[in-house]
Homo-oligomer: A and B are copies of this chain.
Amino acid sequence: MDYNAILELLRQKGYRLTQARKQVIRILTTNTQFLGAYDIHNLLEKENIHIGVTSIYRVLDLLKKLDLVRSEEFGAGGERFRLQGNEEQHEHSHQLICSQCGRQEEWVGECPITDLAEKLEHTSGYQIEEHWLRFFGLCPQCQEL
């Protein structure tokens, strides 16, 4: 879903097409990485566009409610947001994170736990929607030090 489609959807739902909404959506459509609210704020400030942090949070909350963005929260630094459809390959994350230098790689590959998720649904009673799989360890560079 691109910039104009999202604006149109908001308009249809009766939301006003304000500067705050348009600018935050623009940033999200042009960045495929996860961004924190303050990251978005900083990017806008660099363009000399001033949108209050409070409003940025409100736009992100709205987009989340409408299922247009998904958020992740791991490590320090708070919640980070990414537009639905901007994930590289998988909806869920398979990550490789260096415990020394913090380098992060999105590990792309066959999801190895689809079966497990299904099994767990039966034993736990949870209706499972997604999962995260994250590996932590020393990246090749950090092993040499």
Interface residues of A (CB under 8 A from B): 73-76, 78-79, 96, 98-99, 105, 107, 112-113, 116-117, 120-121, 124-140, 143
Given A74-B73, A76-B79, check contact A127 B143 (CB 8 Å). Answer: yes
A-B contacts, 8 of them at CB < 8 A, read A74-B74, A96-B120, A96-B124, A113-B113, A126-B138, A127-B137, A128-B136, A132-B133
- The oligomer's copy count stands at 2
* B133 adjacent to A137 (CB under 8 Å): no
Given A73-B75, A113-B112, check contact A126 B120 (CB 8 Å). Answer: no
Q: In chain B, what residue has the closest Cβ to A143? A: B127
Chain B contacts of A138 at CB under 8 A?
126-127, 129
- A98 is contacted by which of B105, B112, B126 (Cβ under 8 Å)? B126
- A126 is contacted by which of B75, B76, B131, B135 (Cβ under 8 Å)? B135
Chain B contacts of A129 at CB under 8 A?
99, 136-138
- A113 is contacted by which of B74, B98, B120, B133 (Cβ under 8 Å)? B133
